[in-house]
Structure 1
Amino acid sequence: MSKLKRLAGETVLYGLGSIVPRFLNFLLVPLHTNAFSPEQYGVLSKLLAYVAVLNVIFTFGMETAYFRFATKDGADEQKVFNLAQTVVVIISFVLSGALLLLAPSIAGIMDIAGHDDLVMWLAAIMFIDAVVAIPFARLRLKKKPLQFAVGKLTNIGLLMVLNFYFLKIAFNPSVGVGYVVLANLLANAFYLLFFARSLLSWRPVIDRSISPAMFSYAYPVMLTGLAGVTNEMFSRQTLDWWLPANFYANQTPARALGIFSACYKLAMLMNLTVQAFRYAAEPFFFSNAVDKNSPALFARVNHYFIIVCCVLLLGAGINLDILKYFLGNATYWEGVNIVPILLLAYLFLGVYYNLTVWFKLTDKTIYGTLITVGGAVVTIAANFLLIPTLGYLGSSIATLLCYFSMTVGCYLLGQKYYPIPYQVGKSMAYIIVTTAIVYATNSIIIPNFWVGTAVHGAIIVSFVLVVYLLEKNPFRQPAT
């Protein structure tokens, strides 16, 4: 179990650098919802969605390529770092320059005409994010999760202070959501100082033998990421397109988008766990790939990951009456019924990330692209069919269908090219039972808040105890 314990420890430390900052960022939601109307919050959500999509192109899959090539036998880590960083800087410089030159036109396309400055600030944010992506990957490869955490925590600390200052002290309605963008830009500028030594050690270089191989490995990863972020962000745009004007009484599609986007934040609790685990697991998978027992090890990692996510699904899914207060403005509470669906969707996304180990280790990253593009097709079709009849509940179901289909597709292909003995039946049983408990519990209305909270707490404790009794023998297996 030593390797699993080390992975768990590193996940906790990466949690400090990813979950804690994102949770603190989540705490900004009440500040934003009280400062902006649902319509304005919807605009902010769309802007950040565009950034999420473009960030994937800016980094071009080079983080994963860096892990792969830096861990090969006889690899020169500094050289691989230089090669990966060179590609990222060139691509991000060209794209940022294009955004700056075309800012007026792009502002019009993004429905923020007259706010060219927002486009310029977003371009700068994405450039900085891209430039520090490989240095952050280097910290993960060299197993420096504490330094990783310090950088992330300092950034979010600055972001919270700047948000509070702009929205509570220096607020000007004419700037509006621009304050949030500006706060992100100023906070991200800190990363340039934090990674000054690493960035100064970089030497631009192109290697005729290695660079094409890295590029060939990375671009399917980029396409996979692009399709993946489309799966996550597409529903926010399609609500504007496909939601009937009078679907929600006295609400415009823009207002519905704002409510949906705010409630979506509650489901990020699962995504934060997934991301923290992913930061630790990706270098873990690569470094243990040559071990003859790695398939069994990877299967156990996935099983325990699912158990942890099921506990989180249960804890968050039956305590919506508490979570809704994190939304601040009660106007947004009406959408909390979508949260359990999105929590389950992110659970499957986390499982999918675990399953992707097969095509990353066999250099068949093109399959990742095909799987994720398939997920994007499911997303588009499901949103088109479900939004007109179910509103943002339909968007939530579409997200679940997308990630579930990607998980199934990745598993089936993986068992063909890189068989791993996953505990499919037992893991699925945990997921199904947990989901059933969530909906059964939520169907019982307990008028007294404190009594309801106590009952929900007892359910969670009982669930954890049962899981422990079922899993105690595997936990006591000999060290691996």
Structure 2
Amino acid sequence: MSTLKNLFKHTFVYGLATILPRLLTVLLTPILTTYLDTEVDFGEVSLLFTYMLLLNVILTYGMETSFFRFYNEEGNSQRALSTALWILCISTLIFVLISFLGLKQIATTTNIDAKYWRWVIGVVAFDTLMVIPFAYMRVQGKALKYTFIKLINVVISVGSVALFLMATQKMTATFSWLSSDKVELYFIAFFMASGLTLLLVSKPYFKRISFDSRLLKKMLFYGWPILLAGIAFAVNGAFDKVLLQWMLPLSEDAAKEQVGIYTACYRLAVGMTLYATAFRLGVEPFFFSQAKEKNASEQYAMITKAFVVLGAVALVLYVVLVDIIKPILVTKPSYWEAMDVVPLILFSFFFFGIYQTLSVWYKVTDKTRYGAYISISGAILTIVINVVFIPSMGYMASAIATCVTYAFMMVLSYVIGKKHMPIPYDLKNICLYLILSVGFSAVFFYILRDYFGIGSLPLYLAGITMTAILIGVIWYKEQALLARILRIRKE
């Protein structure tokens, strides 16, 4: 009981640290869709964030997970902290220097103005330098501090964006010293927030330096597959925006416009993204701490089923309510033409969340290279589907590619994992809940939504009925598991 209770406690706290900031960040979507001049501007913001994601993965090169892995070894804690901190510091400084020397070339290659890249490089550098300090808080169990600082970061960034984009429209004289370019203002706000947050978490940098070259070699060896996996994940989760820019048979501005429209509706799938991310933050340290327990396999199996049970209900509910959420997050109807991608992206992140819980076998057995193999296979599949079908299907090809890729990775991880670390998953019921939730969601959105009409009473009655059926089936089959979860919440 204590194990499950501890897991849900960490999932809740770290979930709060993730969900609240992301919910606040999601509030930027209506601001951006309202105050950015065109869909092309939104497309440029989306492309820059894609590059930021890729750069963050490359610049951390698996060091966060390596830090978790080696911190708990006897006598390694201070050396692991210092080694991880300073190697990331050195490599980040090299990145900044090279990037600014090649700024014009970067702008030419990406077809995005260099003035935006100046701020993006700074944000990426600050974010990289914060990775290990935040990881250090997690291993120390300082969840509240972690959450508080994350919230400060988002409040500053969201508040600055809102001030710059909204207030400057009416008080141009007061803010005449600011750039008139709204996209640039957006990244200036994030630069300010990242810089201030780095100051708040910088205390570990002032600890006694105990850099260990031998330990560094171990950490790099452990982390390189995670780097490859991270790049592959970035390709799977974000690079479709860049591929749309490259592959659409349209002018540069028209392609960026399509990227903006696709990204706005992609963000409507935020609910499942938040759920999967919060769960990952809760279970990742837990996986390592439980690895040597006798009943570790049973605990892992229970955790996976708990994720599927709760996620299945969340998926159907979110699809039923998405047309109510839509005008709140995406204010301009011109963006709504990409609504058909929303269920596919929701399915994608549900599959991705399951994959994350299944990935325990290669993390706790130090076989992280298999994670890289699976992720790279997924990245190849993503690129192939996008390249082949974007010219004819546009952004629907990207949504389908994301969904197919995460489903493939989920299945592949399960199949390979059975050979290396057998875990007694309740496969029969997990598959049942997956089929019911995905099936109900697809029927509701792609069939009943058109048949009954968006926002109609019969449509919502149908949605409520589907949700009730799913909950009924789960309650009938999983009373013991649900009772344990409910008791944990009461405690």
TM-score by length of 1: 0.93
> How many angstroms apart in 2 are the aligned matches of 1:194 and 1:200?
12
Equivalent residue, structure 2, for 1:46: 47
Q: 3-state DSSP class of the match of 1:206?
A: coil
> How many angstroms apart in 2 are the aligned matches of 1:170 and 1:202?
45
| Deviations, residues 223-243 of structure 1 (Å, cap 9, x unaligned) | 110111011122111212222
Equivalent residue, structure 1, for 2:19: 19
Matches within 5 A, 1:152-191: 152-171=150-169, 174-191=180-197
Q: 3-state DSSP class of the match of 1:318?
A: helix
Q: Which moved more, 1:158-167 or 1:433-442?
A: 433-442
Q: Which moved more, 1:321-330 or 1:463-472?
A: 463-472
Indicate yes or no: 2:396 matched with 1:398: no
RMSD: 2.1
Matches within 5 A, 1:250-399: 252-325=254-327, 326-399=329-402
Equivalent residue, structure 1, for 2:5: 5
List structure 1 segments (4+ residues) > 6 angstroms apart after TM superposition. Answer: 477-480
Which amino acid letter does the alignment assign opposite residue 303 of structure 2?
V
Whether the 8 Å contact between 2:79 and 2:212 is mirrored in structure 1 is: no
Whether the 8 Å contact between 2:15 and 2:282 is mirrored in structure 1 is: no
Q: Which moved more, 1:365-374 or 1:436-445?
A: 436-445
TM superposition shift of 1:277: 1.1
Whether the 8 Å contact between 1:65 and 1:214 is mirrored in structure 2 is: yes
Whether the 8 Å contact between 1:345 and 1:403 is mirrored in structure 2 is: yes
**Structure 1 189/3 Cα, relative in aligned 2: closer, same or farther at 3 Å?**
same
| Deviations, residues 281-312 of structure 1 (Å, cap 9, x unaligned) | 11000000000110110011011111121122
Q: 3-state DSSP class of the match of 2:340?
A: helix
Equivalent residue, structure 1, for 2:222: 217
Whether the 8 Å contact between 1:99 and 1:119 is mirrored in structure 2 is: no
Equivalent residue, structure 2, for 1:417: 420
TM superposition shift of 1:421: 1.3
> How many angstroms apart in 1 are the aligned matches of 2:274 and 2:190?
19
> How many angstroms apart in 1 are the aligned matches of 2:87 and 2:360?
24
> How many angstroms apart in 2 are the aligned matches of 1:185 and 1:13?
26
Count of paired positions = 472
Q: Which moved more, 1:287-296 or 1:315-324?
A: 315-324
Unaligned runs of 5+ in 2: 170-177
Q: 3-state DSSP class of the match of 2:312?
A: helix
TM-score by length of 2: 0.91
> How many angstroms apart in 1 are the aligned matches of 2:334 and 2:228?
37
**2:123 corresponds to which of 117, 121, 125:** 125
> How many angstroms apart in 2 are the aligned matches of 1:263 and 1:75?
49
TM superposition shift of 1:253: 2.5
Equivalent residue, structure 1, for 2:87: 87
> How many angstroms apart in 1 are the aligned matches of 2:239 and 2:417?
27
> How many angstroms apart in 1 are the aligned matches of 2:105 and 2:133?
33
Equivalent residue, structure 2, for 1:69: 70
Whether the 8 Å contact between 1:320 and 1:336 is mirrored in structure 2 is: no
**Structure 1 75/412 Cα, relative in aligned 2: closer, same or farther at 3 Å?**
farther
Q: 3-state DSSP class of the match of 2:424?
A: coil
Matches within 5 A, 1:82-121: 82-113=82-113, 116-121=114-119
Indicate yes or no: 2:57 matched with 1:56: yes
Q: 3-state DSSP class of the match of 2:238?
A: helix
> How many angstroms apart in 2 are the aligned matches of 1:315 and 1:170?
39
| Deviations, residues 194-252 of structure 1 (Å, cap 9, x unaligned) | 2132332262x432331111110011111110111011122111212222339xxxx93
Q: 3-state DSSP class of the match of 2:425?
A: coil
Which amino acid letter does the alignment assign opposite residue 280 of structure 1?
G
> How many angstroms apart in 2 are the aligned matches of 1:117 and 1:240?
20
TM superposition shift of 1:152: 1.0
Q: 3-state DSSP class of the match of 1:386?
A: helix
